[in-house]
Amino acid sequence: MDFPIFQADFFGNRFLIALIAIVHVIINHSFAVGLMPTLTFFEWWAHRTGREDWDRLLYRILAVAFVVTTSVGALTGVGIWFSTSVVNPAAIGSLLRVFYWAWFSEWVVFVCEVVLILAYFLTWKRMTGARKTTHIRIGIALSVMSWLTMAIITAILGFMMNPGSWPQHLDLLAGFLNPAYIPQLFFRTTAAMAMAGSLALALAVLFTGRKTDLRSESVRHFAGWTLFWIVPLTLWSLVYYQAIPAEMMTNLPVAFGTQAWAVHYGLLLKFTLAVALISLGVNVWALVRPRSAWSFIWVVPFLSICLLIAQFERTRQFIRKPYVLAYYMFSNGVRIDEAPYLAKTGLLANSAWTINRTVSPDNRTEAGREVFLLACSRCHTINGANSIRTNLSRLYPGQTWSEEAIEGYVKNIHGARPYMPPFPGTAAERKALASYLAALQTKSDRIASNASIPRN
Amino acid sequence: MDSLVPKDVLLPLPAPVWLLTALLLISFLLHILFVNLMVGGSILVLWTEIRGLRKKEWDRVSHRIAETVTVNKSLAVVLGVAPLLTISVLYTAQFYSSSTLLGHAWLMVIPLVILAFLFAYAHKYSWTRLEGSKGFHLTLGGVACVLFLSVPLIFLTNINLMLYPEHWKSVHSFWNALWLPNVLPRYFHFLMATLALTGLFFVYYFGRKGEDLNSGNLKSTDVVRSFYGIALGATSAQVLAGLLVFLTLPAHVVSLSLILLLGLVLALVPVALLWLWREVTAEVPGRRFARIVLLLTSVVVLMVLARHEIRETAVAPHRALVMAKTAEYQRRLVEAHDYLLIPGGLGGAPASPGSLVFDRRCASCHAFDRRLVGPPMNEALTPYRGNPRDLMNWIVRPGRRRPEYPPMPPQEIPQDELQQLVEFVLQ
Amino acid sequence: MNDTMESRPELPTDPRWKPERTVLILAAVVQILLIGSAIWYSETSPATPIDTTRRLVPEVIVPEDVVFRDTEIAARKGREIPPVDVRQAATPSPEALNEGTRLYSEHCRLCHGPGGRGDGPAGTTLKPPPRDLTRLSGWRNGTRLSGIFRSLTLGIPSTSMPAFDYLTHQQRFAISHFVRSLAAGHEQDTDTSLASLDKEFSLSQGAREPSVIPVSTALERVLAESSGEPEYRALTGNDSPTASLLESLEEPDGRSRLNRILSSDTTWHQDIERFRNLICLDPAAAGVKPRVRFLSDEEWQKLHALLRELLVE
């Protein structure tokens, strides 16, 4: 409403954010939060048992992590701000105001983390012998700092789904200590450890010869590490599940599988369980038969756990709908408390970047297009992912799309689909939207990425 | 689309403006220092490596420079978080508007920096391995350098665009915004500052005791002198660059405070130039290093203040309008809440609770006698006459009876409401 | 990457040191802590009640037919109602029947059904259901033409039958005739019944329905009238540069708008910032051109002074 509209009409705005965010979570959890304690622990153990071959292996794993985290890891983190500020500035703008100090203190911790990982990596080879203990202490400090950054960010994420009493009291602490916080934090911590173990397993295969003792040892140790963390991970996942607001559970089937696959929810769950069990199985196999003939099998745990985390993140983001900030702001940037006002006075009239401020008989389609951009385009594209045309075809297969039917549907869409926000405009605007959408059946439209500025 | 005055985010600022401003300026200063070192390092690593093709000792210098880039770039990125956070909070309406207008171009910063980092890593870690193929090695460094140079241009375009709301309507793409005054002069200014700062940094780096460059034909004093030369050249060019930036500033952003700050800078720079000259021509350069750094740091601080002054002047009217509009909107929202509704409509029989449920949950897809999304009720309910239990089960877990209709999504309706609904539709 | 055979180094391990034991103890402690805390947390955390009354999406959208407070009624223009010859209107005729058929189809069919059996689609949800007009027992106002006319005009309280008072008398008579054609055996009107109908609804006299405005509008007007909407003193004759500046800024018919904006809030008299914001907020609403935003501070001062002079009594 108050910002220009950016539209990624092929991949969709949600995918843009999702891609950056999921890559970031995978790297952050596997390569940083989980891996640093893993490496520090094994470094300590290797030092205590005098295993220089282990030490070299761990250094190589760290080298990979160093390159990945300081490039892709760090930049995708900032990339989440970049993408959300362009796709939904109202939402991220609100989050920044509420959680400014949280992000600021996380930044301080992050600076320490970067300094420490530079130190940890760049001094590894030099700090040998008596100085090894100091180096391990650097590793411990680094692990603590990594975890702390995640601890702070998790509060913000949990808030988006369940802000506790915040919407009523506007109290920052209530937002920070929201009900989903502790469960999600422990879930992520244990998941990060397990992911790091799987990553180390995959990388160890890269850096060790197939028939060597070091190979079988490292495979067993890293698999064992992963298995160790899977037990509390499973428990905390269940606790986390219980902290999700009950009314958001209705969104689960579509969250998990998209509309197209929601009917097969049971099947998808079984498939996910199968992936998890396979991953578990490979880890157990690693303990029992580390000298497996097929080296590539040791990549499976890492790939599968990445898949599971990606699915988790998608589900988490979706079940929160129709809200982007639960019980405060809908996904289209409209706040709950302004929705009735907009429904009476108009979405177009209250937006800054619109050309048409009211709906009249001669501008219905153009006004409808602007209404679509304001109220729907955050999640729907015209021809790309979650395309509105595809959705309409699914609703009215083989029929002509009638304006009345579409209007009637949009009027109560939040009843028919609980993950849809209510239409935030006047009846005239709704009719205009319906007329625009009905026209899309025969005449497609192209939305430029800079959708607010009319092309001459 | 006359009014480009948006409303601000309807939440209070997390801290007083002066505190946020102080945090912004300090964190930005730290960030830009390391950005300069990162970009400057990537330029100078190439320059020295090319020199190293003729004179082997320069290759060693180059390798050392590459090592510093690793550290400086990570710090540059991490230190950028705080100014980005703070500017998004202090200037939400302006900054997010300009970022969104630039769209893809703004987002490109992320992959460009990632690639720049990866190429810089490749360049550094393949040094010995690619000793024989310097051409390829230089290409790696060259790509990294170009990437590093492109990102500040995008940043500058965004930061510039946010200052001029009157131009927002005409910005169709990044290219429009690029040619707005005064992006390119500022970029040139930034480049010279980068070279000057990095030059001085390497004066320090290679001038330290313990730097073992006295072997071969290259004395550390020569290296130090070279970098002083770069600093001198860049700072001289800055006089021109600064003038260009000032002359291309739109008139309405020039304030008295700005003139004073720039006046101070103009007073200090010649002294710095003089000292730099003395250093370059000295037998053993390095004596004046501390005071040169002190002086130029003061200049940098003044410039940071000047930038802020320009920003505040440019943005102040728009900000005032945004604040007024936001306050007005909030007032209207509060008023509207007072009038909030009496449900039930214009008299007549109060609707039965079941019909309310129907209206909310079913009416968008099911009409009585015609097909909307789902089959009409007069048909669809026939099998359920006298069978409310079956109907309830169906609503909650629909199967798929009619292939010509889209599948009905399961409806999560609590038991009591389900009862009312079924009662209502079946009578 | 070097992946040659890695062999065990010949470093002596300290026989006193048993890292395995430390690791085992550490592992046990960590597991107990994590598992224990999970169990403890799920026991002690307040169970999120399955709140069936809480909707994911609250009903924030105001249904269309909802009114704001009782006093808010829709504005309606007043109209003249021509007198009706009751006798003539009460006599069935082909024209009345045709019109009645058309009007029934438009206004009544949805609830009462095409054949008047009360089986219209919109009526299925109503309680009591719409009357089956082919069955003549139990009609509230009786089955006479006058009774039907009455039902149409007043509606039937505590049912969903609305008052069709927005239809003209003639139209209501026409519908009544149609309704009577749906069955046989209706009661007949007498002179007395027609006379009382006439009296009740002032049919032969005609009437004037006043215009109706919402109370809020009325209040606005009253306030404006009582405070006296200030008028501009004439600008003609005022040759000052500020006056010409103001004229150059005004849109063709913007004067009254500017007037309105400035009289809605009088704090601007003392507060130039407020003055500036009032106008710049939405130049179109204030009747001035957008470039007003780029006036200099000095120009604003002058405008402020001028308008104060002109508007303050």
Q: d(Cα C133, Cα C114) in Å, to the nearest integer?
A: 11
pLDDT at B349: 34
Query: Residue B141 above 60 pLDDT?
Result: yes
pLDDT in tens, A385-420: 899 999 888 888 888 888 888 888 888 787 778 788
Average of pLDDT values for B4-11?
Answer: 86
Domain shared by B190 and B255, yes or no: yes
C67 CB within 8 Å of a chain A CB: no
pLDDT at residue C49, as a whole number: 47
Q: DSSP for B338-405? A: HT---TT-SSSSPPPHHHHHIIIIITTTB-SSSBSSS--HHHHTGGGTT-HHHHHHHHHS-----TTS
Q: Cβ contacts of residue B43 below 8 Å, gap of 6+? A: B145, B149, B194, B195, B198
Element (H, E) at A323: strand A323-325
- In degrees, rounded to 5, the angle at the alpha carbon of residue B125 between the alpha carbons of residues B122 and B126 is 75
Q: How far apart are CA A297 and CA A278, in angstroms?
A: 11
Cα distance between residue A397 and residue A387, in whole Å = 15
| Distance in angstroms (rounded) separating the CA atoms of residues A89 and B8 | 11
Report residue A61's pLDDT band, with 50, 70 and 90 as the boundaries.
Answer: very high
Query: Is pLDDT at C74 greater than 60 in this prediction?
Result: no
Amino acid at C260: R
DSSP 8-state assignment for residue B282:
S
* B348 inside domain: no
- Pair B209, B305 in one domain: yes
Residue B336 falls inside a structural domain: no
Q: What percent of chain A has pLDDT over 90?
A: 54
Q: Are residues B22 and B120 in the same domain?
A: yes
Among A248-257, B54-63, C209-218, the minimum mean pLDDT is found in C209-218
* pLDDT tens, residue by residue, C201-215: 888 887 776 666 655
Averaged over A320-329, what is the pLDDT? 84
How far does Cα C276 stand from its chain's mean position? Answer: 32
For residue C163, give the chain B residue with the closest CA: B348
Q: Are residues B314 and B210 in the same domain?
A: yes
| B416/C66 CB distance under 8 A | no
What does the pLDDT look like over A433-446, one tens digit per residue?
999 999 999 988 88
Question: Per-residue pLDDT averaged across A347-359, rounded?
Answer: 88
One-letter amino acid at C211 equals: S
CATH 3.30.1390.10 fits C79-209, yes or no: no
Give the pLDDT of residue B346. Answer: 22
Q: Which pLDDT belongs to residue C166? A: 67
Question: What does chain C look like in DSSP terms, one character per residue?
Answer: ---PPP----PPPPTT--HHHHHHHHHHHHHHHHHHHHHHHHHHSPP----TT--SS---SPPTTPPSSTT----B--EEE----HHHHHS--HHHHHHHHHHHHHHTHHHH-TTSSS--GGGTT-SSPPP-TT--SS-TT-SSHHHHHHHHHH--TTSS----TTS-HHHHHHHHHHHHTTSS------HHHHHHHHHHHTTTT-EEEPPB--HHHHHHHHHHHHH----PPP-TT---HHHHHHHHHB-TT-HHHHHHHHHS--GGGT-HHHHHHHHHH-TTTTTB-GGGGG--HHHHHHHHHHHHHHH--
Q: B357 and B326 in one domain?
A: no
Residues B141 and B238 in one domain: yes
CA distance C285 to chain A (A): 12
Each residue of A275-287: pLDDT tens digit? Answer: 999 999 999 998 8
Are B348 and C127 inside 8 Å of each other by CB?
A: no
Helix (H, G, I), strand (E, B) or coil at B13: coil
Total Cβ atoms within 10 A of residue B77? 23
* Architecture of domain A13-330 in this structure: Up-down Bundle (1.20)
pTM score over 0.90: no
User: How does strand A323-325 pair with strand A329-330?
Assistant: antiparallel
Residues linked to residue A335 through DSSP beta bridges, in sequence order: A329
Instruction: Count other Cβ atoms within 10 Å, centred on residue B1.
Output: 14
Question: C270 to each of A394, C246, C276, C283, C305, how far by Cα in Å?
Answer: 62, 20, 12, 21, 10
Structure tokens belonging to residue A81: 């701000």
Tell me the CA distances in angstroms from A433 to A424, A441, B396, C285, one per residue in order: 12, 13, 31, 26
The domain segmentation of chain A, as residue ranges, is 13-330, 337-439
Higher pLDDT, A264 or A26: A26
Q: How far is C63 from chain B (nearest CA, A)?
A: 8
User: A179 in contact with C at a CB cutoff of 8 Å?
Assistant: yes
The reply to whether B248 and B156 lie within a common domain is yes
B75 pLDDT exceeds 90? yes
pLDDT at residue C54, rounded to an integer: 44
* Chain C partners within 8 Å of A209 (Cβ): 3-6
Q: Cα separation of B267 and B273, whole Å?
A: 11
Comparing alpha-carbon positions, the chain A residue that sits nearest to B104 is A449
Q: How confident is the model at residue B343 (pLDDT cuts 50, 70, 90)?
A: very low
Chain-chain contact of B345 with C66 (C-beta, under 8 angstroms)? yes
B127 contacts B351 by C-beta, under 8 angstroms? no
Q: Which of left, alpha, beta for B344 (phi over 0: left; psi -120 to 50: alpha)? A: left
Q: Is B322 found in the same domain as B174?
A: yes
pLDDT digits (tens, 9 = 90+) for A146-177: 999 999 998 888 777 766 656 555 556 766 67
Q: Are residues B275 and B412 in the same domain?
A: no
The residue type of B2 is D
Gap between the Cα atoms of B113 and B145, Å rounded: 11
Q: Which residue has better confidence, A292 or B265?
A: B265
Higher pLDDT, B212 or A161: A161
C158 Cβ under 8 Å from any chain B Cβ: yes
Say if the Cβ atoms of C66 and B424 lie within 8 Å: no
Beta strands at C207-209 and C79-81: parallel, antiparallel or unpaired = antiparallel
Closest partner residue to B321 (CB to CB) among C158, C162, C281 is C281
Residue in B with minimal Cα distance to C69: B339
CB neighbours of residue C253 within 10 Å: 8
Over residues C144-191, the pLDDT tens digits come to 999 999 998 888 876 767 777 667 888 899 999 999 988 888 888 888
Clarify whether residues B388 and B268 are in a common domain: no
What pairs with residue A6 in β-bridges? Answer: A450
The predicted structure's pLDDT at residue C78? 64
Question: What is the number of structural domains in chain B?
Answer: 2
Task: Name the 3-class secondary structure at B406.
Answer: coil
When pLDDT is averaged across residues B28-34 and rounded to a whole number, the result is: 96
Q: What percent of chain C has pLDDT over 90?
A: 9
Closest residue of chain B to A17, computed from CA coordinates: B107
Domain that holds residue B375: 353-426
Q: What is the mean pLDDT of chain B?
A: 86
C-alpha A211 chain-centroid distance: 39
DSSP for B42-82 reads: HHHHHHHHHHHHHSHHHHHHHHHHHHHHHHHHHHHHHHHHH
CA angle A59, A65, A67 (to 5 degrees): 105
Between residues A86 and A129, the one the model is more confident about:
A86
Better-scored residue on pLDDT, B95 or A268: B95
Report domain extents, chain C: 79-209, 231-311
Q: What angle do CA A256, A258, A263 make, to 5 degrees?
A: 80
Asked if A390 and A441 count as a contact pair (C-beta separation under 8 A), the reply is: no
Kindly state whether residue B12 falls inside one of the protein's structural domains.
Answer: no
- Give the closest residue to B46 by CA, choosing from B70, B32, B65, B33: B65
pLDDT for the residue A289: 85
Helix (H) or strand (E) holding A329: strand A329-330
In a domain, B406, yes or no: yes
Task: Please give the residue that has the higher pLDDT: either A244 or C76.
Answer: A244
Which of C54, B103, B336 lies closest to A335 in space, CA to CA? B336
CB interface of C with B, residues 58-97, below 8 Å = 59, 62-63, 65-70, 72
Nearest to B339 among C65, C68, C294 (CB): C68
Tell me, yes or no, whether B130 lies in a domain.
yes
Asked if B237 and B202 sit in the same domain, the reply is yes
Q: Which CATH class is domain A337-439?
A: mainly alpha
Please tell me the predicted confidence (pLDDT) of residue C65: 44
Give the model's confidence band at C16: pLDDT under 50 very low, under 70 low, under 90 confident, else very high. Answer: low
Q: Can you tell me the distance from the alpha carbon of C125 to that of C119, in angstroms, rounded to the nearest whole number?
A: 10
At A204 the pLDDT is: 93
Ranked by mean pLDDT, which of A316-320, A353-357, B156-160, C66-70 comes out on top?
Answer: B156-160
Please name the amino acid found at residue C278.
Answer: L
In which band, very low, low, confident or very high, does the pLDDT at C286 lie, cut at 50, 70 and 90?
confident
More confident residue, B107 or C260: B107
Higher pLDDT, B302 or B56: B302
Backbone angles phi, psi at A355, to 5 degrees: -90, -45
- Shared domain check, B190 and B111: yes
Q: How confident is the model at residue A259 (pLDDT cuts 50, 70, 90)?
A: confident
